[in-house]
């Protein structure tokens, strides 16, 4: 799935280049914590002295990375941050006659990244983040889905959120299902999110 999401992002970039020839697009895999804090310190100088000092080589690395758009005036904005999580193999283990395993921690790792990503967009009117989740742990009725719901500040799953229309809450696009997401499905949803972000920032 890590490979598939990169294939989907590249397809989105190709389509965006056709639709917005006035913009250039850049994909970045990671973002250092010191760079995030430096930006927040410029945006919120009154809090700059309160931020911690992480190691220079500590970073956020969402599975799908960060997608930027830049206009001819040199403005560079993040228009997409994407993750993909597969969790749960107890359906396959049952078919093999194996005992159940404890449910995994992919969602906990997602929660850590989401906290940092919300901080990145703290001074923005949009939050173009999407996570594609699949696997046995996300089947209908699973209690693990409630963990995802909690991370989304109790806003519904499987709905796209881009603009911050519900402040002080900041819901994001948490798209979760039992079946694996196809490249085409991920690309369609990511394209819709990037268009909303571009139209908010540049159009």
Backbone angles phi and psi of 77, in degrees to 5: -130, 145
Looking at residue 33, which CATH number applies to its domain? Answer: 3.40.580.10
Which range marks the domain in which residue 87 is found? 2-201
The SS3 of residue 187 is helix
Q: Any idea which residue has 């994407």 for tokens?
A: 82
Tokens of 99: 């005992």
Indicate the DSSP class of residue 132: E
pLDDT digits (tens, 9 = 90+) for 80-131: 999 999 987 544 545 545 445 545 567 888 998 999 999 999 999 999 999 9
Looking up tokens 């310190």 gives 41
Cα–Cα distance for residue pair 13/23, rounded to 1 Å: 11
Q: What is the pLDDT along the chain (203 residues), one digit of tens a residue?
A: 679 999 999 999 999 999 999 999 999 999 999 999 999 999 999 999 999 999 999 999 999 999 999 999 999 999 999 999 998 754 454 554 544 554 556 788 899 899 999 999 999 999 999 999 999 889 889 889 999 999 999 999 999 999 999 999 999 999 999 999 999 999 999 999 999 999 999 86
CA-to-CA dists, residue 191 to 30, 111, 128, 201, angstroms: 20, 23, 11, 15
pTM: 0.89
Supply 102's token pair: 């404890």
Domain count, the chain: 1
CA dihedral angle for residue 104, residue 105, residue 107, residue 108, rounded to 10 degrees? 160
Q: How far are the Cα atoms of 10, 27, 46, 131, 180 from residue 65, in angstroms, in the given order?
A: 12, 7, 30, 11, 20
CB 136 within 8 A of CB 178: yes
| H or E stretch at 125 | none
**Which of 56, 67, 57 is closest to 29 using CA atoms?**
67
């Amino acid at each position: 799935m890590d490979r598939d999401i990169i294939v989907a992002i590249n397809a989105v970039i190709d389509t965006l280049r056709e639709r917005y020839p006035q913009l250039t697009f850049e994909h970045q895999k990671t973002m250092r914590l010191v760079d995030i804090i430096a930006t927040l310190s410029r945006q919120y100088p009154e809090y700059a002295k309160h931020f911690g000092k992480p190691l220079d080589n500590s970073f956020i690395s969402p599975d799908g990375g960060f997608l930027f758009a830049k206009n001819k005036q040199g403005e560079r904005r993040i228009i997409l941050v994407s993750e993909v999580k597969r969790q749960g193999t107890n359906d396959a283990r049952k078919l093999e006659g194996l005992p159940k395993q404890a449910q995994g921690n992919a969602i906990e790792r997602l929660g850590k990244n989401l906290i940092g990503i919300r901080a990145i967009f703290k001074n923005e009117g949009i939050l173009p983040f999407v996570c594609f989740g699949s696997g046995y742990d996300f089947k209908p009725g699973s209690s693990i889905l409630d963990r995802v719901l909690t991370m989304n500040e109790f806003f519904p799953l499987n709905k796209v959120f881009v603009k911050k229309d519900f402040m002080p809450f900041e819901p994001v696009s948490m798209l979760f299902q039992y079946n694996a997401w196809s490249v085409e499905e991920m690309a369609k949803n990511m394209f819709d999110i990037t268009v909303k972000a571009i139209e908010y920032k540049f159009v």
